[in-house]
Amino acid sequence: MNRKSTILLVLSLIVLILMAVFSSQNYLLFSFGFLIVTLGVYFWRFEKSQHNSKEIVFIAIICALAVVGRIIFAALPSVKPEIFILIMGAIVSGPETGFLMGTIIALTSNMYFGQGVWTPWQMFALGVIGLISGLMSDGVPKWLLVVWGFFSGFLMGWIMDIYYIVGYVDPITIKSIFTSIMASFYFDFVHALFTAVLLLFVGKRWIKLFNNYKRKYDLF
């Protein structure tokens, strides 16, 4: 993981800590602060590298697909394709762009589902998944892609469990932590399984499609 990716993670954690210390009522302020931090690091990389504006179009396409996919499946709890689409886009575009796409997907899709204290945490969760996915090469074996997709569903759930435990569990004990995690296990499992199944059957096809776009316009 390079220096910019590390900076993204550190700054994101600082935003979450500040939100917990000051007030959860300012969640929108922290959500946009989160996005500004991510955009700042991304465009710092953008200015220092030889890139073109078509990258922004690619990012917008990935985010739009993920947001629309999440909205379409709104009636089915945890059956959401946003992690699948994010993983595909991040593998092609890299870790910093993957983190950026994850934060945008969470913030924009919550304009439909509803903003709240959970928004910055979802931005962080999807951002981390995008960052780690971006560290993979487009030649990643299918089995590893499927395993990562399955694990990422739980990773997002565990990060959201931390938000719930810190904000709503009192007192925080080993028993209450275990109870909170087990309460969300079914939803995390369905999310993880759905992501893994998509990656198993169409993951490589989507990577090929995105790579063709990448080569055609000389992106990333």
Q: 218: alpha, beta or left, given left = phi > 0 and alpha = psi -120 to 50?
A: left
Q: pLDDT band at 169, cuts 50/70/90?
A: confident
Tell me what pLDDT residue 7 has. 72
In the chain, the number of structural domains is: 1
What sign does the dihedral 96-125-113-203 (CA atoms) show? positive
Residue 167 half-sphere exposure, CB side, CA atoms within 13 Å?
Answer: 19
What's the domain range around 146? 3-216
Query: Rounded CA gap, 5 and 132, in Å?
Result: 9
Segment 10-45, tens digit of pLDDT = 777 777 777 666 655 666 666 777 777 777 666 666
Using the structure block, give the residue that is written with the tokens 């990562």.
148
Does the pLDDT of residue 49 top 80, yes or no? no
Confirm if 138 and 181 have CB atoms less than 8 A apart.
no
- Which of 116, 115, 104, 119 minimizes the C-alpha distance to 65? 104
Q: Mean pLDDT across the stretch 117-143?
A: 89
Q: pLDDT band at 170, cuts 50/70/90?
A: confident
Tell me what pLDDT residue 105 has. 94
**b/e map 60-97, b = 16+ CB within 10 Å:** eebbebbbebbeeeeeeebebbbbbbbbbbbbbbbbbb
Residues in the chain: 220
Q: pLDDT band at 117, cuts 50/70/90?
A: confident
CA 57 → CA 37, 63, 101, 187, 217, distances in Å? 20, 10, 12, 33, 11
Q: Return the CATH number at 81.
A: 1.10.1760.20
**Which of 92-96, 122-126, 195-199, 213-217 is predicted least confidently?**
213-217
